[in-house]
Amino acid sequence: MERIWNFFENMNEYVYVADADTHELVYMNKKMRDTYGIHSKEELAGKKCYELLQNSSLPCTICNNDELQEGQFKEWRYFNPLLNKYFKIKDTVVEDNGRRYRIEIALNISSQEHQKNVVRRYEKLEKIVNEGLRLALGTSSADKSLDIILEYIGKALDGERTYIFEHNENGCDDNTYEWVANGIKPEKDNLQNLPPELCANWYRNFQEDKNIVIENLENIREEDSEQYKNLKRQDIHSLVVVPLYWEKKIIGFYGVDNPPAESLDYVSDMLHIMGSFIVSSIRRRNLLRQLERMSYRDQLTQFGNRYAVDWFVEHEWNGEQIGVVYCDITGLKKVNDEQGHEAGDRLIIRACECLAGVFKGYGLYRIGGDEFLVLCLGIEEKDLREHVEKLRMDMKEHQVTMAVGMIWKEHGPKDIDLLLNESERLMYEDKDRYYKEHGLKRRR
């Protein structure tokens, strides 16, 4: 048999021979000896195949000795976890002098299996992306689409939290959307208006078309200490974050916290693919918000319009105490007729500045060419009167004259028309007093 073993000695495949009944190793070729650190054939004496090849104290459960027949080869595939390799294996048995020898020839096919795994992984990725997009696109709003896609990504990638951060008008970052797995604490409310320096290192990487992949949070303890503290507080030990671009400008980023360590590259690929949809949804949301603002706002003053008043009554006011202030600019028509509409617009703007300065935080509305309304939810009557007196003083400083009608209601049924009619009546009384005091004839 020694002559047969020598035939295998310099083959590029892995070859070993063992007693099929006792499992004692009889031979290993050079490639296999080198792989397992065996320096001579003599070292094999007394060793069992399952002890050396599988690091096991008992015969392998996958052992197929009972199935082998002389003159036939049994082919199969196997991943060896000790060697971290895939093998294509051929087994047979040879009898000599009453002893049965198991001969195994194994070909390393790890590179082929790796390619198959890559293909399978990206086929799975494609299915995940398509299903996520299908669900997200079936919603009625961009906000809902973003919520759904974050949930889908989080579950598909086995993460604990997925999120979107966007630049705000102050140059800081706001966590605008998030999904969290069961048992994970939401963080969105704690991550608003983050200072630019906190994510400065991330944005420098984004500018170089790099993602942020943190395999172990401890790796950034020294180089990015502030971000380390921020992430540590959130119980984050690993993450993947990718930038969000619009017209070559970074508008924010989104990512996944604590995904499985072995899938970080896969997570990065999926986030990149979904990034375009995220940006598209954000743009759609912004457009809808802009259209909504336009439909509820007066374009000259940026105060709410009559539709905004209706919305306030329907969604914000529940009949609790409220102050209503009805104002009318005196002499606007004369300014328009004698000085032009640009001068009239400047007068309107000055009137708005007075109202906005005094009634900051309350509802401000332009309900006609020269008519304005202030709705003060929850204000005390004394405070309302003080605000109106301050308004009268501010009007003098801004060279604006407005007639003012004020009414306060503690509680009762919702009837905005009754309040508007009463405050308008009081406004006209105030206007009449102004004209009488100044000897002017009021235009009807």
Q: What is the DSSP string of 243-305?
A: EEEETTEEEEEEEEES--GGGHHHHHHHHHHHHHHHHHHHHHHHHHHHHHHHHHB-TTT--B-
Please, which residues have CB within 8 angstroms of residue 10's CB and are 6 or more apart in sequence? 29, 30
Fold agreement (2-108, 114-293): yes
Q: Cα–Cα distance between 122 and 116 in angstroms, integer?
A: 10
Under CATH, to which class is 2-108 assigned? alpha beta
**Nearest-angstrom CA–CA distance, 61 and 154:** 37
For 128, the token pair is 């995940």
Q: What is the pLDDT of residues 248-279, one digit of tens each?
A: 899 999 999 999 887 787 788 888 888 888 89
Q: What is the mean pLDDT of residues 355-367?
A: 94
Enumerate the domain spans of the chain. 2-108, 114-293, 306-437
What is the fold, at CATH topology level, of the domain defined by 306-437? Alpha-Beta Plaits (3.30.70)
On whether the pTM is more than 0.75, the answer is: no
**With the C-alpha atoms ordered 308, 299, 425, 444, is the resulting torsion angle positive or negative?**
negative
At 120 the pLDDT is 57
Tell me the percentage of the chain whose pLDDT exceeds 70. 91
- The CATH number of the structural domain formed by 114-293 is 3.30.450.40
For residue range 91-105, list pLDDT tens digits in order.
999 998 889 999 999
